[in-house]
A and B are shown apart, each in its own frame.
Chain A
Amino acid sequence: AQTVTQSQPEMSVQEAETVTLSCTYDTSENNYYLFWYKQPPSRQMILVIRQEAYKQQNATENRFSVNFQKAAKSFSLKISDSQLGDTAMYFCAFMKHFAGGGADGLTFGKGTHLIIQP
């Protein structure tokens, strides 16, 4: 079974600063996918970024980028030029690669509450 650990329950930064959220995971799988989801107070879980484990290049989406270290089983999220709207719970999630069907869903960490201060 996989586990995902987010060691920062809460973080607070000033608007426009850069912030990095940490995530580590444990798995015996070699093929998998990693995700960061954002959950604002509205509760809707929103995809932020996705990383395929077989890709060495770190994924980026506008102000969001990841630092994926497969050997260390680390997957951190960097938010540049943070904005008030970035305030939310951020969840790191793992999904095993099933070639041929079947699924065991996403495994989530406990989340990091990110607060962007004006």
Chain B
Amino acid sequence: ETGVTQSPTHLIKTRGQQVTLRCSSQSGHNTVSWYQQALGQGPQFIFQYYREEENGRGNFPPRFSGLQFPNYSSELNVNALELDDSALYLCASSLGSTGRESTDTQYFGPGTRLTVL
């Protein structure tokens, strides 16, 4: 069974630039959630994708956007980077299904450390 993978491991960008982070979900999982973890804090929910559609969103501005592909891998895009976007970005996959309980356990990838200068 392949776990959740993320790329790249580290990334340095300058303010105003755009960034794309990538996530491959665990084998058999169809749902991907993205989280932002600032230093010394717990992760904050950005959004979730289920079968290529956004399925829920946290309190993040529209410059945070995402995609999910037919193979259930996902991208997180952040436009107009700000200094406060510097954080660890975590991707988690789970097996979800609408019409039934959407409560499956999320399994996390190793994260991408983004630094905005």
Within 8 A of A (CB), among B52-85: 55-56, 58
Is B25 engaged at the interface, CB distance under 8 Å to the other chain? no
How many of chain A's residues have a CB under 8 angstroms from any CB in B?
Answer: 30
Is B98 engaged at the interface, CB distance under 8 Å to the other chain? yes
Q: How far is the CA of A4 from the CA of B113 in the complex (A)?
A: 25
> Are B108 and A98 touching (Cβ within 8 A)?
no
> Are B103 and A97 touching (Cβ within 8 A)?
yes
Hey, which chain B residues are within 8 Å of A46, CB to CB? 108
> Are B107 and A43 touching (Cβ within 8 A)?
no
Name the CB-closest residue of B to A100.
B99
Hey, which chain B residues are within 8 Å of A44, CB to CB? 108-111
Which of A37, A91, A101, A109 is B99 in contact with, Cβ under 8 Å?
A101
> Are A97 and B55 touching (Cβ within 8 A)?
no
Within 8 A of A (CB), among B77-117: 88, 90, 92, 96-103, 105-111, 113
- Give the B-binding residues of A (Cβ under 8 A): 4, 33, 35, 37, 42-47, 50, 52, 91, 93, 95, 97-111
